[in-house]
Structure 1
Amino acid sequence: MYLTRFRVNTGRSDARQLLGSPHRMHGAVNMSFPTLPSREGTGPRVLWRVDRNGAAETLLYVVSPTRPDLTGLVEQAGWPASDDPGWTTFAYEDFLAALRPGDTWGFRLTANPVHNIRHEYVKEGERTKRAAHRTPRHQKDWLLKRQERAGFEIVEKPVERRLLPKDDEHELIVRDHLPMRFRRSPEKAVKQDVQITRVTFDGRLRVTDAALFRRTLTHGLGKAKAYGCGLMTLAPVRGTA
């Protein structure tokens, strides 16, 4: 497994087009691999996420079973004339193998929190329709309901640090909420546009089941993984190993 970080040159028009269309970015990421892993099996898949850390820094993260070659992305959305190759790839396997129950980490996750609803617009023969969670409260609940099956638990805040009487029990914030609508290709009709809501969570977690948690980090969490959702990354927490 590999974790790759690529800095996007947002001053280039091609880069802005990629950032504006998850379908285009999905294609550009896939072009970085001679052979993509099969999506039919149970193995790890290619996951990606864009972090906008202010106007001066936009980063693309990719987790993949094989090492990528981002030369094409550099030419399209990087600094092709620079001596810097434009990306850094880290061996991820040793890090994953070292994860143990009880480990505490800071984390960032971009996901597509959805739920199934019933309403009058559901087509005949369909029982429910998928819809996005729209409020921070429901988006947090979406993640909290999945933590046990994903091999972790969100750390609870001490009572004295809780700023609200409700919905502030955990070390968890919704950092971004971005509804997106885009086409898979210019030929598709407007009614076939893809609509997703990308939400970024920042927080602190504790590993409860290392095997399940490794799967979460390498297979992703939730829907819309092809469109920049599902990838969780970790960072050390001050005062821990």
Structure 2
Amino acid sequence: MPPTATLTRLRLNPESPAVRRDLADRIQLHKTLMRLTPGTPSPHPRRDAGLLFRLETDRDGPCLLIQTTQPPRLTGLPAHYGTAQTSDLTPLLGALTAGLPVRYRITAAPVRHIPGPCYGRRPDGTLLRRRGTPTALHGPDAARWWQRKASHSGLALTDISLTPQAFERSPHTPHQPGLAHQLIQFDGHARITDARLLAQSICRGIGRAQSYGAGLLSLAPA
């Protein structure tokens, strides 16, 4: 049985002070969208609610694609925040088939960890190193990161297009380690190699910075 999910397309109201505030600060945007979740006590409330989102802009203005395990509580949003349309993704997840060609889009935060200092050796002589600092990837390095992530998520990529995205952050927000993300939008074509794994990856999200608009994978027939 495939996992369940819903997708909400939220057309933002650019006249709303709350929208303007959130578009200027991904951290605040995350806080606003968490109001869509049930709010039950949990050490991992976003993950448990399956909340993923992606900010897009087209000729009609800014739009949020919001994925949740259960239908979101739209009444939790600020007044006049936008207009929403929610659909059930479960039939789509169940229709995924190995070999099916698809178009994809995902905004992600590709990183690699620079090896940290050595703190010892294993019995076989292998050096033990601390994990080190995550470093944002760009260009071909970012493309290779996505190629690897896609392969581990049940997709074989045919082509990749990269578009850098801004990580909007208020200058008044205190610096927190791990929040200086480089977001990149990946678009292209692929073939499904593992339908079950892909459905799980769509619901779980891919990569880091999922609280700030990364990790939501969208598919359409090629």
TM-score relative to the length of structure 1 = 0.76
Contact 2:116 2:130 in 1 (8 A): no
Evaluate the alpha carbon distance shift between residue 193 and residue 149 of structure 1 in structure 2; reply closer, same or farther with a 3 A threshold: closer
Tell me what 1:149 maps to: 152
Tell me what 1:167 maps to: none
Evaluate the alpha carbon distance shift between residue 57 and residue 197 of structure 1 in structure 2; reply closer, same or farther with a 3 A threshold: same
Over the residues paired in the alignment, what is the CA RMSD in angstroms? Answer: 2.7
| Offset from partner CA, 1:56-75 (integer Å, 9 cap, x none) | 32110111111012234361
Report the Cα offset of residue 20 of structure 1. 1.7
In the TM superposition, 1:126-205 aligns within 5 A as 126-133=130-137, 135-155=138-158, 171-182=159-170, 189-190=174-175, 194-205=179-190
User: Which residue, 61, 85, 88 being the options, matches 2:85?
Assistant: 88
Report the Cα offset of residue 119 of structure 1. 7.4
Structure 1 residue runs without a partner (length 5+): 79-85, 156-170
| Offset from partner CA, 1:108-161 (integer Å, 9 cap, x none) | 1000001111479xxxx944111111x221111110112221111111xxxxxx
Q: Which deviates more from structure 2 when the two are superposed, residues 98-107 or residues 172-181? A: 172-181
Q: May I ask how many residue pairs the two structures share in their alignment?
A: 206
| Offset from partner CA, 1:149-201 (integer Å, 9 cap, x none) | 1111111xxxxxxxxxxxxxxx2101233245458xx6x64466831111111
Matched, 1:101 2:101: no
Structure 1 segments of 4+ aligned residues over 4 angstroms from their partners: 179-183
Tell me what 1:19 maps to: 23
User: Which residue, 196, 202, 215 being the options, matches 1:211?
Assistant: 196
Percent pairwise identity: 26
Contact 1:15 1:76 in 2 (8 A): no
Q: Matched residue of 1:14: which SS? A: helix
Evaluate the alpha carbon distance shift between residue 37 and residue 139 of structure 1 in structure 2; reply closer, same or farther with a 3 A threshold: farther
Tell me what 1:165 maps to: none
Contact 1:154 1:204 in 2 (8 A): yes
Structure 2 residue runs without a partner (length 5+): 118-128
